């Protein structure tokens, strides 16, 4: 099984103290999912990342980082006139805020040619993308990506989509909601988070979110809801799953991305929907008890892998 995640991986600058010392890392929603998938699946699957990066040193460093996480980067596009996007985390009175420099990032050019995406998806079983993948693309490239995913799906591939709504990345919230619903219409599995959805689609309940995406044709919709019940819509109708209680939440960064990886790793191994959701929730529960997006400790031990 080959899984390809599509999107933007950024440089992350995270504060180590209040004196201006920062640690550089790499993160991004679909990349986080790829990283956890590679860790969970080991030799049982090949996980690849499709994006565009620069030709500079920091881009090389990112590719080395992905390679050391056993993520295949052989299809990553190189752009001599661009480099990676960057974000910086600031801590003020214990609250985290984020500043972004990504408006001219290389990843924004990832879908300039549908041929590159098609070649990457050739022979893959699963393609994962998100609302952020869509948000960073110009409209014509978004259409190119959609066509490539449609072709992939027609050839028997499974398309997985996390709406990950980020209104700041869109010129108009209406463009965002339209693009998200269009993308859901070409997806087999949709993995939204209710909090974002209620704000931008006006869903009163997670069930509303699940039904709205199911109506677009997704066979499986898993609605995450922080510590609240996870609501699933599948061919057997609606079901509810309580994630385990976490008393010491430290940082919810990548909770949804890691949930997606846990869910998918279990789903493709043939587990039931209930088991796959439990695996996703278990991994996310561990991730939120640590600081940062990529938490090595969360995937140590192999009881999550099956
Ligand atoms: P979210 O995208 O914030 O809805 O969270 C994704 C998943 O992470 C949820 O479905 C839960 O499984 C887990 N999660 C997030 N926040 C918490 C929390 N405070 N306590 C327990 N689990 C959480």
**Tens digits of per-residue pLDDT, 99-143?**
999 999 999 999 999 899 999 999 999 999 999 999 999 999 999
What is the atom index within ligand 1 of the atom nearest the CA of 285? 22
Q: 154-178: b or e for each residue (b if 16 or more CB lie within 10 Å)?
A: eeebbbbbbbbbbbebbeeeeebbe
The residue whose C-alpha atom lies closest to atom 16 belonging to ligand 1 is 226
The residue whose C-alpha atom lies closest to atom 22 belonging to ligand 1 is 227
Q: Which pLDDT belongs to residue 306? A: 47
Q: Which pLDDT belongs to residue 95? A: 77
- Name residues contacting ligand 1 (CB within 6 A): 193, 224-227, 230, 243, 246, 249, 252, 255-256, 259, 281, 284-285, 288
Q: Which pLDDT belongs to residue 92? A: 79
The residue whose C-alpha atom lies closest to atom 20 belonging to ligand 1 is 227
On average, the pLDDT of the chain sits at 95
The residue whose C-alpha atom lies closest to atom 14 belonging to ligand 1 is 226
**What is d(CA 152, CA 257) in angstroms, rounded to the nearest whole number?**
23
Name the residues annotated as catalytic.
Answer: 257
Q: Which pLDDT belongs to residue 291? A: 87
**What is d(CA 27, CA 133) in angstroms, rounded to the nearest whole number?**
14
Cβ–Cβ < 8 Å for 131, 176:
yes
Best residue among 197, 255, 260 to mutate for probing ligand 1's pocket (most ligand atoms within 8 Å of CB) is: 255
What is the atom index within ligand 1 of the atom nearest the CA of 255? 8
Give 243-271 pLDDT, tens digit per residue. Answer: 989 999 998 999 999 999 999 999 999 99
Distance of CA 103 to the CA centre of its chain: 19
Q: Which pLDDT belongs to residue 18? A: 83
Q: Is the pTM of this model over 0.85?
A: yes
């Amino acid at each position: 099984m080959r899984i390809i995640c599509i999107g933007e991986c950024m440089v992350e600058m995270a504060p180590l103290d209040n004196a201006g010392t920062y640690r550089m890392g790499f993160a991004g929603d679909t990349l986080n999912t790829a990283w956890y998938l590679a860790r969970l699946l080991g030799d049982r699957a090949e996980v690849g990342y499709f994006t565009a990066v620069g030709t500079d040193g920091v881009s090389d460093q990112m590719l080395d980082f992905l390679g050391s996480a056993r993520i295949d980067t052989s299809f990553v596009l190189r752009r001599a006139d661009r480099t990676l996007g960057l974000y910086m985390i600031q801590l003020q009175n214990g609250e985290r805020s984020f500043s972004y420099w990504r408006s001219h990032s290389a990843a924004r050019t990832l879908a300039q040619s549908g041929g590159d995406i098609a070649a990457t998806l050739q022979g893959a079983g699963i393609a994962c993308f998100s609302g952020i993948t869509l948000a960073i693309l110009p409209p014509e490239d978004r259409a190119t990506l959609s066509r490539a995913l449609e072709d992939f799906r027609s050839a028997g591939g499974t398309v997985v989509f996390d709406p990950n709504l980020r209104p700041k990345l869109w010129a108009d919230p209406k463009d965002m909601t339209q693009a998200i619903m269009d993308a859901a219409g070409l997806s087999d599995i949709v993995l939204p988070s209710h909090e974002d959805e209620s704000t931008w689609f006006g869903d009163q309940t997670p069930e509303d979110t699940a039904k709205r995406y199911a109506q677009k044709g997704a066979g499986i919709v898993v609605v995450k809801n922080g510590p609240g019940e996870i609501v699933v819509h599948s061919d057997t109708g609606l079901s509810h799953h309580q994630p385990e209680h976490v008393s010491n939440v430290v940082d919810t960064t990548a909770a949804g991305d890691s949930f997606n990886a846990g869910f998918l790793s279990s789903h493709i191994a043939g587990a039931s929907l209930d088991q796959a959701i439990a695996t996703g929730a278990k991994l996310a529960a561990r991730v939120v008890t640590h600081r940062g997006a990529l938490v090595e400790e969360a995937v140590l031990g192999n009881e999550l892998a099956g």
